[in-house]
Amino acid sequence: MKNRLPASDSAVPVYQLQSFPRHEPNKPFYMIRLERLVQEFKGIDKSHTHTFYLVMWISRGSGTHTIDFKTYTIEPNQLYFLTPGQVHSWVLSADTQGFNLFFDANFFKGRFGNRLYQYPFFHSHQHQPLLSAIPQPALFADLLAYAYQEYEAHQPNRSDVFLSFVHILLETASRLYHEQQIGTDTYLYDRVRQYEELLENQFLTVREVSAYASQMNLTPNYLNHICRLVVGKTASQLWQERLLIETQRLLTHTTQSVKEIGFQLGFSDPSYFVRFFKKQTGQTPAEFRQSLLGSGVSEVVSRPFVR
């Protein structure tokens, strides 16, 4: 029987590894051909999120892939990288082929520690979560093919060998990503990544740049300085953008009222929450929701949005 999206009228579906066809119990990794996943898991193209990390390889095909409200054009020889909690959906042409590789954080961290948080394509809302125009696509195609072969073979020490393929894949991708997109001092970039990691874990409870700077043993002025150098934005703007993404997720994928969402995000004054959102987007939260209904983007259709 084909799998279906879990029924919900209040939130985007959240998938765990065991949600997928033929996942092995207690295994912290999973791999499947993309075309097979689309065929076997009905509704997987609709908006959803995961509790695990995802690497998606497109070897052929076309379409679009939307990740946290940004839409990317699918082309052959692309790698997409998703972090737990990110919401994504896609529209794929019938001839699309590739691989989806999933793994839990602890599977990787057990051998490689915090290296997982240092990759530029993970845990960053400032850098694209994909690699395109790959100069040596055969290298990535082979790495994914060998990893899949190892995944399917069930040979001795399979977990260790499969993890080695995941590590080589991510390190190779990271080198290419730095060559293509990151032209800044490595130390400064790493500090901004550290700030982004703190934001990811604390943006709802810690709202002052000075508190983040203190955790990083930096002054607020210097944190602002390096953020401007690396991404052209202040530390406060990065916090606001992270909060905005969470707001858009809740407005799109839940039926909570605007007032309820504001309180959930730490705004005691609903009117201030509306002003914050309008300043960032040019729309009120209610106008944003209405635009989603008009465009057919929203997944929450079981009952009207509460304003």
Q: What is the DSSP string of 135-188?
A: S-HHHHHHHHHHHHHHHHH--TTHHHHHHHHHHHHHHHHHHHHHHHH--S-HHH
Q: Which residues of the chain have pLDDT under 50?
A: 1-10, 299-307
Total-model pTM: 0.74
Task: Calculate ∠ Cα 57-58-62, nearest 5°.
Answer: 155
Question: 73 - beta bridge partners?
Answer: 64
pLDDT at 305: 32
- pLDDT tens digits along 190-243: 888 889 889 988 999 999 999 999 999 999 999 999 999 888 889 999 999 999
- pLDDT score recorded for residue 23: 85
Question: What are 103's strand-pairing partners?
Answer: 29, 53
d(CA 147, CA 271): 52
Strand-pairing partners, residue 271, are none
Instruction: Return the pLDDT at 78.
Output: 97
| pLDDT confidence of residue 109 | 92
